Chain A
């Protein structure tokens, strides 16, 4: 069964600092990987996704993520954080085969940004 671990429950950074949110997955085949962001009172917004090809993927709002098969990781990065990036971030893995739909989420990382 697939699973996702986000080791950091809460991260605090200063505005303008760089950011890396960790995500480790467990899945037997090629994973389809996603990062979603949830602002308070909002739904889940897709930041970026990896299906195949270039292992460094670019997303919206200046975010990027790198797929590392050897480490089973898909960490999210941003070179300079803005106060508006404060939110909860979820990593998710999608199954292949006949079960494209089911997404398995990590427990989320809450990002606090200090001015």
Chain B
């Protein structure tokens, strides 16, 4: 069974450029989460979707960040324009929620470096 698939695995870009991170959740999972991880702040939840609908985006740092989930098998996280402080590992995770949160399955992450 394929796990959560993220792309790209690594991205190096220059300040001001647009960055798009992609995620394919596990088939059958109905919740999708975007996290950002840094040494200083740990794992931070940016936004999550239930049944493709954004539920809580209060963790999105600012208007430069946006996320979409057009269907059950695909989500994107976009940063425009990117800044050096956005450098981090971005994880996508999915779960099957029925009552509780359910076990989270993470992708391998997208390591972003903004110069």
B and A form one assembly? no
